[in-house]
A and B are shown apart, each in its own frame.
Chain A
Amino acid sequence: MVSICSNNLQPSTFSLKTLYLLFVSLLMLPVTSLASDDGYGYPIPGSYEATILGTPASLIPEFPGKTSTRQLVLDVIPKRLKPPVFFYDEGLRCTLAYQEKKAPLVFLIAGSGASNNSTKILTMMKALHQAGFHVITLPSPTNANFIISASQSRIPGDMVEDANDMYRAMEAAWIKVAGDIEVSTFHLCGYSLGGSQAAFIAKLDEERQVFNFKKVLMINPPVSIYSSAARIEDLLKQIPGGGKKQGIFFNKMLSRFSEFYRYGNFVAINDDFLYSIYTEKLFSREETAGLIGLTYRINLAGMIFSSDVMTNSGYVVPKNRVLSTTDSLFDYFLVSTHLSFFDYFNEYFFPHFQKERPGLTRQALIDSMSLKSIEEYLKSSAKFGVMTNENDFILTRDELDYLRKLFGERAKIYPRGGHLGNLEYKDNLAYMVAFFK
């Protein structure tokens, strides 16, 4: 497109040419040539960059067949009271992708903060549906919809309680569709936080035996929720002033982003533009890390605010205040985004469970939020598999080794991809599908 800023002729004609060449060379370049000689074609080496950019569109497989889907809105907790500010929440939202014939069903659990309709989960859904599976996608227990409509305590984060809530939701979903589809076996899969949750849900299923999951795949799971959250929080420490100055950081990044567009001659803010931000190295490594940390905080803010409103705890919203549908929530947005995972844990989450379970120590709660707490079970069952990356920054070296040791051959570890960056890459999707075959 002819530049909107053609009044700045000199810089823009210069960068027009360079950028044009850059685009052409990038888009035309067979991406395999970028790959190292490890035979793995996912092109982005950096952990942070991969996490932000995900998979280039040309490397996401196409799903030519029509995916027959149906939206489910579940009344998981009957007679749940919902405040006016959440008037739009009519129940837990799940998506069913169905086959016309008898087939295995995979439950997919979204990563932290994500809904049943997030881009990643929909790609996974299509890949599995195309391969002949029924699929039901579920939001993360940390997603506001889940907190409002499906969480008994309305305070997400405890692995055992969340597993109970999720199990109840899955049962409700199954009851809703059981008359319409034929299912041969049940499988379970989750990514990021949803991956670890899948392990706890599978353990619960051994007692409850409603689904008798045959296979369970954990994609880029944290080993310890606390340690992984701490590592994400560390990303924000790399920006000047840390998390408490993220507003300044955000605005600085935004103006650089706008200027880059202004002088760069782009058609629109689209994938090409974003990709060239990466190739032109618009943001340093520290800044990229900061952006991931900030995105995480924006996500976490939704969880903190929803939980606080639902419990009337007076954490970010004054206790007993009833927010109307037209009240401004902007101050709550700013306050919630400035709270860290540690703030949530120490001031809100831990005190709640301490009250519920007298004698509970902080360390005991942290330990219970780790795969290590159900290690014996995970070791004893052949149904588990894990898929993650060598450079997923939410894991320490020790934690990655732990997964390797725990799952042996059933741990598929890709050389790169950061945290979930390669989830939509064709090899990864193929591995996921083959795992359930």
Chain B
Amino acid sequence: MMTGNMACRIIIFLMLLLSLNGCALTWSNTQSEVPARHSINEFRDQSFAEVFDPWEGFNRTMYQFNFYFDKYLFIPVVDGYEFITPTFIQKRVSGFFNNLGEVRNLTNSLFQLKGTESITTLGRFATNSTIGLGGLFDPATTFGLKQQYQDFGKTLGYWGVESGPYLVLPLFGPSSLRDAGGLAIDTGIRYGIYTAVDPFGNTDNGFSIASGITGMEAVDMRHLQSFRYFESGYPFEYYMVRFINHQKREIEAGKLPPDKFQ
């Protein structure tokens, strides 16, 4: 497929860019190192904002990859989308994908045996799929059925699975080993449902349509996310992003911080 081919080329280009990074810059220093005036050994305090991150080198490379991917492909596409599409349409598109996401919310609230929540989510899905015209509109919220975000990572957390090492995923960004596994399961479940329902089975272009929808979903996802890699300019941005993402997941998955924090 043409578009797939293009994407592959861009990714290879970005990979090359990453590998060249070290030698492209003129900043170098061959003199021997002199210890800094202040070092970590002089402080008698707890470490803070720390997250288990044994793969930091890899993660930083991925963080950088995402920065370039955003810069050369993702954000220009999103900008183009925002430019040509009226805000009204953008909101309908987001609504549509958000409604598809209810399937993930529902399966996971069921996995967590949350009765009321499952019923609410089912009610939302039924309402918005019908009178909300397939999710384009959200009458369910007006009826008092509030959205309850769930995913398999949260389900695992709910049943006591630790988040494991921090992991920066290509395109998806900050995650953890547990949540990355969760993402794979959610995607698998969704693919299973898709295959069973086979909505485009009677057309010849089922695959193209499905890829188009997935592409659109990615654009919508990035469109809704205002975060831009390295935009803060803060030299420790990686740690702030890591800490906030990890902590938000930990807290929202209902777990207390580990003992060393108490």
Q: Which residues of A contact B (CB under 8 A)?
A: 1-6, 81-89, 93, 115, 117, 139, 143-145, 244-248, 250-252, 254-255, 257-259, 261-262, 267-269, 301-302, 305-306, 309, 312, 314-322, 324-326, 328-335, 338-339, 343, 347
Contact = CB atoms under 8 A, between A and B. Distances in A.
Contacts of A245: 45
B97 interface: no
B205 interface: no
Nearest to B262: A255
B2 interface: no
B3 interface: no
23 contacts: A4-B252, A6-B114, A87-B21, A89-B233, A115-B233, A139-B233, A143-B233, A246-B48, A247-B45, A250-B46, A255-B262, A262-B251, A302-B236, A305-B236, A314-B34, A314-B36, A314-B37, A317-B36, A321-B29, A322-B27, A331-B39, A335-B36, A335-B38
B45 A248 contact: yes
Given A258-B257, A321-B33, A244 B231 contact: no
A269 B248 contact: yes
Given A144-B235, A305-B236, A316 B27 contact: no
B39 A335 contact: yes
A318 B34 contact: yes
B15 interface: no
A115 B234 CA distance: 9
Interface residues of B, number: 62
A338 B33 contact: no
Nearest to A148: B233
Nearest to A113: B234
Nearest to A83: B27
Interface stretch (B60-68, B129-137, B171-179, B217-225): B60-68
Given A87-B21, A302-B234, A319 B36 contact: yes
Interface stretch (B49-57, B181-189, B193-201): B49-57
B4 interface: no
A255 B256 contact: yes
Contacts of B31: 320
A59 B149 CA distance: 28
B238 interface: yes
A318 B252 contact: no
A320 B21 contact: no
A314 B38 CA distance: 9
A317 B36 CA distance: 5
A147 to B, nearest CB: 9
Given A247-B48, A262-B256, A339 B158 contact: no
A318 B251 contact: no
A305 B235 contact: yes
Contact of A244 (B29, B44, B254): B44
Contacts of B40: 331, 334-335
B232 interface: yes
Interface in B128-154: 146, 148-149, 154
B234 A258 contact: no
B227 to A, nearest CB: 12
Given A255-B257, A314-B37, 6 more contacts: A2-B117, A84-B22, A248-B46, A255-B262, A301-B236, A302-B233
Contacts of B50: 330
Given A262-B256, A335-B39, A330 B239 contact: yes
A4 B158 contact: yes
B203 interface: no
A312 B34 CA distance: 10
A418 to B, nearest CB: 23
A237 to B, nearest CB: 15
Contact of B26 (A81, A143, A244): A81
B35 A318 contact: yes
Given A251-B48, A314-B36, A306 B26 contact: no
A330 B232 CA distance: 17
Interface string B239-254: 1000000011011111
B88 interface: no
B76 to A, nearest CB: 13
Top 8 A-B residue pairs of the complex, sorted by shortest distance between their CB atoms: A4-B254, A145-B233, A247-B46, A88-B230, A319-B34, A247-B45, A250-B48, A247-B48
Among B36, B120, B257, the most chain A Cβ lie within 10 Å of the Cβ of B36
Contacts of B16: none
B47 interface: yes
A117 B231 contact: yes
B57 A326 contact: yes
A245 B32 CA distance: 33
A146 to B, nearest CB: 8
Given A261-B251, A302-B234, A335-B38, A251 B261 contact: yes
Contacts of A89: 230, 233
A64 to B, nearest CB: 12
A267 B141 CA distance: 14
A329 to B, nearest CB: 6
A258 B251 contact: yes
A269 B251 CA distance: 9
